[in-house]
Amino acid sequence: MLDPELHNYLSGINQNLVDLKNKKTPGIWRSFFNGMFSALGYLAGLALVLLILGWVLNKMGLTAAFQQQMRDYQSFFNEAKKVMSAGGQSGQGSSQTKNGETIITLPDGRQVKVIQ
């Protein structure tokens, strides 16, 4: 048979395991909160990485060049919108078709050849 001291030791370990099992019962609320805190951790980590990256780029002086490039793109797109919207109005632009080529006259008088 078992030694009484070993029996007491094993019963103590068994009681600790039962207590741990009772504490760690799986449930829908536990899973929900684990998921919420994991998502919150991911978002906080992403925000921290973006903040540090922005600070490093600012210290390197690259943000001003990036902002200027974005302004150039915006002005380019705004000009394209103006040309496209002015060409779509009636009486402002015209088009001619010859042998699969279309010549479009823009409102400012320029002509563009489009091959189909």
Ordered per-residue pLDDT tens for the chain, 116 residues: 678 888 889 999 999 888 887 776 667 888 888 899 999 999 999 999 999 999 998 899 888 888 899 999 999 988 888 877 765 554 444 556 667 778 888 888 888 887 76
**Report field, pTM of the whole predicted structure over 0.75:** no
Task: Tell me the residue range of the domain where 81 lies.
Answer: 63-116
- 2 and 50 co-located in one domain: yes
Same domain, 51 and 13: yes
The verdict on 26 and 67 lying in the same domain is: no
Helix (H) / strand (E) element for 104: namely: strand 101-105
Mode of pairing for the β-strands spanning 111-115 and 94-98: unpaired
Q: Are 105 and 94 in contact (CB under 8 A)?
A: yes
Enumerate the H helices of the chain as residue ranges. 4-23, 28-60, 62-87
- Please state, in angstroms and rounded to a whole number, the distance separating the CA atoms of residues 94 and 106: 7
How many domains are there within the chain? Answer: 2
33 and 75 assigned to the same domain: no
pLDDT of residue 107: 82
